[in-house]
Amino acid sequence: MSRQASVPAVVSVRTAAAQALDDVPRGAVVVVACSGGPDSLALVGASAWVAHRSGIDLHAVVIDHALQPGSAVIAADAADAARALGAKDARVMAVDASGPGGPEAAARRARYAALEQAAVGASAAAILLGHTREDQAETVLLRLARGSGARSLAAMRAVSGPYRRPFLHLPRAEVRAAADAMLAPLGRQAWADPHNEDPAYARVRVRALVDGLEGALGPGAVLGLARTADLLRDDADALDALATSAMAELVVSEGGSINTSCDALAALPRAVRTRVLRLMALRAGAPADDLGIGHVGSLEALVSDWRGQGEVRLPGRVVGTRRYGRLCLVRS
């Protein structure tokens, strides 16, 4: 037995990677995101171990956000580490991390766009991300503070479209212990991103809260937040299914409008009704990224709090009005 195989943390991450890649056919390509940090390098090492035994081609992609001096050198070193850990290929992709929503949001958009571009170019079967249980807990807290609903608080899925997060149920400490064990024989260390210590970033401030949760609330607090996300995901999935069914039954498209009976909508539970309203707005042409809870609330008032108010203007030039007991959405 190899020294690494005797380290419990390494066994855990390899098992998680094997489960995540279980349905990927031999000869397929899988892209793994690699920042050079311990979580992503543990993912590369564990996935490479599985890939070599399953006939999968593992391609590591390092995103250079160019947000700090020397980023190109750091990215190149991360790619070298990925190759040393067993990735068949490793490439650096430079991105423009500017844009609306602040630096964190802009960097995230650019990163995901580049990963998807790389996956399409390689005809990849999946994209692997190194999020851990603590990352899930941080996401729940961030969204809770923003007044998010069940769907948003459900946070990250282990599988979402092309993305897979093998470590989402594993504690960060275990993943990082695995990274240390994998890198030590190579004479390497994971990169410590200074941005992860900069309190100017909301994620860093929340991370400090999560790190202190178990001391303040007792063991299991982080696991509890992650379980909350799982439970809310089940609830949100059920409500979305009910809304989709109600949409098909109650909503009609005619004469360029999306419309339905206000009485029929009012009879639905509010959690289902607001979801139907959001689906109606999307079908009418409102952009999903710009359609907020306030817009849906204004539409909902036309149904359940009707006082003769005027039209509701939504993103994408969509206008909602109540006419003769029916809610009508049209694109102006």
Average pLDDT over residues 18-32: 97
Average pLDDT over residues 210-230: 85
CB 128 within 8 A of CB 47: yes
pLDDT in tens, 61-110: 999 988 888 899 999 999 999 999 999 999 999 998 887 767 788 889 99
pTM over 0.85: no
pLDDT in tens, 100-153: 767 788 889 999 999 999 999 999 999 999 999 999 988 888 888 777 778 888
Asked if the model's pLDDT at residue 263 lies above 80, the reply is: yes
pLDDT at 255: 81
User: With respect to CATH, is domain 251-331 assigned 3.40.50.300?
Assistant: no
pLDDT at 247: 96
Residue with tokens 């949760």: 213
pLDDT at 145: 79
All CATH 3.40.50.620 domain ranges in the chain, comma separated: 4-228
What are the respective helix, strand and coil percentages of the chain, to the nearest 5?
55, 15, 30
What is 4-228's CATH number? 3.40.50.620
pLDDT in tens, 285-304: 999 878 988 999 999 999 99
Residue with tokens 């590369």: 44
| pLDDT tier for residue 6 given thresholds of 50, 70 and 90 | low
| pLDDT tier for residue 5 given thresholds of 50, 70 and 90 | low
Distance of alpha carbon 240 from alpha carbon 229, whole angstroms: 16
